[in-house]
Structure 1
Amino acid sequence: MTGTHEASRLGKFSWALFDWANQPYFTVVTTFIFAPYFTSFVVGDPVTGQAYWGYTQAAAGILVALLSPVFGSIADAGGPRKPWIVLFAGLCVIGTFSLWWAMPDHGPGLIWILVAIVIGTIGVEFSVVFNNAMLPSLTSRSSMGRLSGFGWGLGYLGGLIALFIVLLGFSLPEEPLFGIDKTLHEQDRLTGPLSAVWFLVFIIPMMLFTPDGKPTGKSRAEAVRGGLKQLGGTLRSLGQHRNMVYFLIARMFYNDGILAVIGFSGIYAAGLFGWSTTSLGVFGILINVFAIAGSFAGGWLDDKLGSKPTIVISVLGLSFAAVGILSISDGEVLFGLPAAMPTPESGLFGSPAEQVFMVFGFVMGFFFGPAQAASRTLVARLSPPDKVGEFFGLFALSGKATAFVAPLAIGVATDLTGQQRPAMIVILVLLMTGAALMSFVREPER
């Protein structure tokens, strides 16, 4: 595609704003605020809660893995992606808003909260598939990295602001906004409705200003039949797209590790240090500052060196951070050095053990964005123009086909050992395996 066919600046910015719209779900719901609240208070036991959380993410991952290529191929056959985004964004909003009713010690009603978490996760993940598939039609191949990295950076900025809203509006003040009752953990439960409304509002610019694929004139039934037929043909001819196959296999591993380290770092810290919502929120803010910087830097590096080197550098950086976090246990850091744990008198992040954890957390934050943004760019560069949605569906498949493995392994390891630390070993193995498999990928010239 030439520069003359690029979307307008407003169209590109509105597309990138989709990352801003969905990121609070990942930041305040699945990572720093609601997930630790769920494990520690809704379930009532951090170990059992971590296992339950792992099982919900595994269930959602299996459904996304099975259906993403199907929906992607149908969207390619039908043309526009926005109707699909609206459908799945609506599911996410419904599931996420329902988290308001996740009361402490929920008891028999816990199953409905687990269902809401699965619905919210499915909705946001499918909507991301279709938004990603719009990338190649918006800008040239030589500048995809910057646009993708800008989107991820904007997303982390959105997550950062959402954290500020939760902390400064509801968690820190003695008299929170809107009469929120802290004794009922309403400041934690509010993250669900907040993320839902945020998502709904900030996808509007993308719907209005970002150009979409043109309708093919096919009916929905014809699009479904054509899409399924095309998917079957692609699967039979994957041998002709070996580069893509090698990349998707590698991504299965390193993306599982990335998602696990994002999803369980807050839970691990809450269990290890007994961090409150405020501590987790401040930690999340600091992590997001580094993630914003890393995303913008990664977008520049992607267009300068290529997507593959950017991915490998980022995954190795995350592996280093995972080893560092793995080295921290009760009273020890770096696999044996004594380090005092937090006490009521030590203040916010005042203990040596917490400070070492924070250093590795900052490294982790810096490398989140580049690995994910460059992965999105590499798929766009490897995809045939008429199969972009389908290949982004396979991209989602590679991210979800084994995505249940990490949460399931973490859940089982936590159940069997009665400890949270083995989760980090699972994460490290996945990251290093993915980085090694990237050596088989050959990136096309831009």
Structure 2
Amino acid sequence: MSDLAEPRASKRGIWGWMLFDWAAQPFFTVVTTFIFGPYFVSRMASDPAAGQAAWGYGIAAAGFVIAILSPVLGSIADQTGARKRWIAFFAAIKIVTVSLLWFAAPGSSLFLVVLLFSLASVAAEFSTVFNDSMMPRLVPKEDIGRISNVAWGLGYLGGMIVLIFVVAFMAGSPETGRTIIGVSPILGLDPALGEDARATGPISALWYFVFILPMFLYTPDTRTGKRIGTAVREGMAELRSTLAEVRQRAGILRFLIARMIYQDGVNALLALGGAFAAAMFGWSITEIGIFGIILNVVAIFGCLAASRLDTALGSKTLVLIALVLLTIATIGIVSTGPGYTLFGAWMMPGEDSGGLFGTPAEKAYIAFGLLIGIAFGPVQASSRSYMARSVSPEEAGRYFGIYALAGRATSFLAPFLVATITALSGSPRLGMAVIILFFLAGMVLLAVTPYPAHRPAR
């Protein structure tokens, strides 16, 4: 970050802010997507369809709570000025709830496990609202896209490191009891009891605790001196005026609606994609973990490239490119099954050549997964920089609260539809196909949205 133009915070403060993504990402990587989620779907539930439905409903419930409260909290943060105290509060909730996933043994109550996961998801998202709203005060607008994408890339790197650790030292094969590098799982973890997957909760909690500390120590925060009661009252009043104001800012309103639609698809694909693959091909934790590592490696390079392209092409162009890739990838993965891809237009030998991902269909699935890896980071990081370029530092909290609302207002809808269609049809493939519609609709609306969405002249 040596070439940042006139930074408003020290380099140490900027890096502390970016390390928040590094700290937060393992929860999404190893718990939500690649290790614990597939374990829940394939081993805790009675069958994969029931597991995908329960997981989807848990994500939907968390999304509903996030949608209701994010803009409220964002407005309150603007009134108090301070963000760190809120991040600390929700970090504590996340650390406790995600640690308790260790007790999610086979045969445990699905409701209680989903409740813990949903609470952790809510706390993680609220922390992100406050962290994101700090960004416009740290660097000039021309550098926002760069630090946003670099931070997201750091997040993927952190998630990948934890995922590699889990696969190499914790995830034992059901047949041999040893990990992919030929050692017994550390700490005597028993894969037969799901302890390798369950341990991802405490590990991601510890990682989060350690690596959010630089943000607390070095990243500058502000404070208005208002008491919390006064801040709540004024924050609620400000939220009402902001919701009225945003209707007069057509560019921001249209962008937020577009993001509300396509982010629903992103959230659902992120949360359910790993479990879908594990159920379809019967992948073990080792295989789904390696799939996750591959995607994270690609995602890191995607974010690093996007950190430059965001400045050169603009956030809007980058988001549109990412949505095209995600649409192609989602069509690819739902059209692939044992022995075929592209809905059977390309039939493949069903013989397993042995080793990891031994069938041609599995390799085709991974190829489509690479497109997801390339696009996942930029579609979210450049959306964040799009918003940051469109608002002033003084209004960042309330607008990032509404930004979170747009990312979650209907975020229960895509997982709910995936879960419901899966439950009614008994077909996880048909359920996942719903996600394509969210990408297409969001892409069309964003294409006709002005960029950036600045405040209109008065």
Q: Which amino acid aligns with 1:332?
A: Y
Residue of structure 2 in register with 1:263 after alignment: 271
For 1:304-332, what per-residue CA distance to the aligned partner results, in whole angstroms no more than 9, with x for missing partners?
Answer: 11111011011111111111112212322
Pick one of 239, 243, 256 that aligns with 1:248.
256
Residue of structure 1 in register with 2:86 after alignment: 84
Q: Which amino acid aligns with 1:115?
A: L
Residue of structure 2 in register with 1:96 after alignment: 98
Residue of structure 1 in register with 2:74 after alignment: 72
Q: Which amino acid aligns with 2:220?
A: P
Number of aligned residues: 441
Residue of structure 1 in register with 2:203 after alignment: 194
Residue of structure 2 in register with 1:7 after alignment: 9
Q: How does 1:165-184 map to 2 (within 5 A)?
A: 165-171=165-171, 172=179, 173-184=182-193
Please say if residues 32 and 284 of structure 1, whose CA atoms lie closer than 8 Å, have aligned partners that are also in contact.
yes
Please say if residues 342 and 349 of structure 1, whose CA atoms lie closer than 8 Å, have aligned partners that are also in contact.
no
Q: How does 1:45-444 map to 2 (within 5 A)?
A: 45-106=47-108, 109-171=109-171, 172=179, 173-213=182-222, 215-336=223-344, 337-341=346-350, 343=352, 346-444=354-452
| Higher alpha-carbon deviation: 378-387 or 52-61 | 378-387
Q: How does 1:9-48 map to 2 (within 5 A)?
A: 9-48=11-50
TM-score by length of 2: 0.94
Q: Give 3-state SS (helix, strand or coil) of 2:18's partner.
A: helix
- Equivalent-residue separation in structure 1 for 2:217 and 2:142 (angstroms): 26
Please say if residues 342 and 354 of structure 1, whose CA atoms lie closer than 8 Å, have aligned partners that are also in contact.
no
- Equivalent-residue separation in structure 2 for 1:366 and 1:222 (angstroms): 45
Q: Give 3-state SS (helix, strand or coil) of 2:106's partner.
A: coil
- Equivalent-residue separation in structure 1 for 2:453 and 2:60 (angstroms): 36
Q: How far apart are 1:299 and its partner, in Å?
A: 1.5
Q: How far apart are 1:100 and its partner, in Å?
A: 0.2
- Equivalent-residue separation in structure 2 for 1:96 and 1:402 (angstroms): 24
Please say if residues 136 and 392 of structure 2, whose CA atoms lie closer than 8 Å, have aligned partners that are also in contact.
no
For 1:215-270, what per-residue CA distance to the aligned partner results, in whole angstroms no more than 9, with x for missing partners?
Answer: 11211111111111111111122232211110000001111111111112111111
Please say if residues 340 and 348 of structure 2, whose CA atoms lie closer than 8 Å, have aligned partners that are also in contact.
yes
Please say if residues 88 and 126 of structure 1, whose CA atoms lie closer than 8 Å, have aligned partners that are also in contact.
yes
Please say if residues 24 and 159 of structure 1, whose CA atoms lie closer than 8 Å, have aligned partners that are also in contact.
yes
- Equivalent-residue separation in structure 1 for 2:135 and 2:431 (angstroms): 34
Q: Give 3-state SS (helix, strand or coil) of 1:399's partner.
A: helix
- Equivalent-residue separation in structure 2 for 1:44 and 1:21 (angstroms): 33
Please say if residues 58 and 118 of structure 2, whose CA atoms lie closer than 8 Å, have aligned partners that are also in contact.
yes
Q: 1:445 to 1:259 in 2, by over 3 A?
A: closer
Q: How far apart are 1:174 and its partner, in Å?
A: 4.5
Q: Give 3-state SS (helix, strand or coil) of 2:46's partner.
A: coil
Q: 1:333 to 1:271 in 2, by over 3 A?
A: same
Q: How far apart are 1:364 and its partner, in Å?
A: 0.9
Q: Give 3-state SS (helix, strand or coil) of 2:343's partner.
A: coil
Q: How far apart are 1:384 and its partner, in Å?
A: 3.1
Please say if residues 264 and 438 of structure 2, whose CA atoms lie closer than 8 Å, have aligned partners that are also in contact.
yes
Please say if residues 390 and 453 of structure 2, whose CA atoms lie closer than 8 Å, have aligned partners that are also in contact.
no
Q: Which amino acid aligns with 1:386?
A: E
For 1:268-288, what per-residue CA distance to the aligned partner results, in whole angstroms no more than 9, with x for missing partners?
Answer: 111110000000000000000
Q: How far apart are 1:59 and its partner, in Å?
A: 0.3
Q: Give 3-state SS (helix, strand or coil) of 1:175's partner.
A: coil
Q: How far apart are 1:110 and its partner, in Å?
A: 2.5
For 1:176-230, what per-residue CA distance to the aligned partner results, in whole angstroms no more than 9, with x for missing partners?
Answer: 11111222111110000001111111100000001112x1121111111111111
Task: Give aligned-pair identity as a percent.
Answer: 45
Please say if residues 41 and 105 of structure 1, whose CA atoms lie closer than 8 Å, have aligned partners that are also in contact.
no
- Equivalent-residue separation in structure 2 for 1:265 and 1:145 (angstroms): 27
Please say if residues 325 and 424 of structure 1, whose CA atoms lie closer than 8 Å, have aligned partners that are also in contact.
no
Q: Which amino acid aligns with 2:104?
A: A
Superposed structure 1 runs of 4+ greater than 4 Å apart: 2-5
- Equivalent-residue separation in structure 2 for 1:211 and 1:414 (angstroms): 46
- Equivalent-residue separation in structure 2 for 1:253 and 1:189 (angstroms): 32
Q: Give 3-state SS (helix, strand or coil) of 2:34's partner.
A: coil
TM-score by length of 1: 0.96
Q: Give 3-state SS (helix, strand or coil) of 1:211's partner.
A: coil
Q: Which amino acid aligns with 1:25?
A: F
Could you tell me which runs of 5 or more consecutive residues in structure 2 were left unpaired when the two chains were aligned. 172-178
